[in-house]
Amino acid sequence: MRGLAVTTTARHLAAASLAMATGIMGAGLASAGPNGAFSGPEGDHDAAAMFVDINYSVKDLTIAQAGQLGADICTWLANGRSEGDIVAGEVSRGAAVSVSDAQYVVHAAEWHFCPDEY
C-alpha cells in the first residue's frame, strides 16, 4: 500500500464539500456519516468517489489507485486485520501520515467498498 500523506481535517471537509456542491459523482449529494461526509452512496464501489474523498489525504494517487486502495483495505479487513492495525501499520512504517488521516482513508474505503465494515 502506498503511503498516505499528512493533511488536515479541514481539507477532508473541503473535499467532501466540493463533491456535494458540484455533484461530481453523479449523485449530487454526499452521504453524511459519523466519520465525515463521503461522496456517493454507501457501497457504491466507485473509485472516482473514493478518489474525491481521499485526494487531500493521499497525494499523487490516480482514480484507479484510489479504487485499488479501497479494495485492498477491505481485503485486509475481511482477512481479520482491524482498522487499528491498518492505521498503525501505515503510521509505523514511516508513511508520514497522521492517525486521523489514516483513519479517514480507512473509513472512506469501508463506505465505498465494504459498507458492512463501516
Give tens-digit pLDDT for 13-68: 334 333 333 333 333 344 455 545 798 899 999 999 999 999 888 778 899 999 99
> 4 in a domain, yes or no?
no
Residue 1 lies in a domain: no
Is the separation of the CB atoms in 25 and 19 below 8 Å? yes
Q: Is residue 2 in a domain?
A: no
- Say how far apart CA 71 and CA 45 lie, in whole Å: 9
**What's the structural domain count of the chain?**
1
Helix axes 83-92, 99-113, angle to 10 degrees: 140
Give dist(CA 46, CA 40) in Å, integer. Answer: 8
Q: Structure pTM? A: 0.69
Considering the domain boundaries, does residue 42 fall inside one? yes
Cα distance between residue 64 and residue 110, in whole Å = 17
Task: Give a yes or no: residue 20 inside a domain.
Answer: yes
Share of the chain above pLDDT 70, in %: 65
The domain of 69 spans: 9-117
In a domain, 106, yes or no: yes
Asked if the structure places residue 94 within a domain, the reply is yes
Phi, psi of 50, deg, nearest 5: -60, -45
Cell of 53: 474523498
**Is 71 part of a structural domain of the chain?**
yes
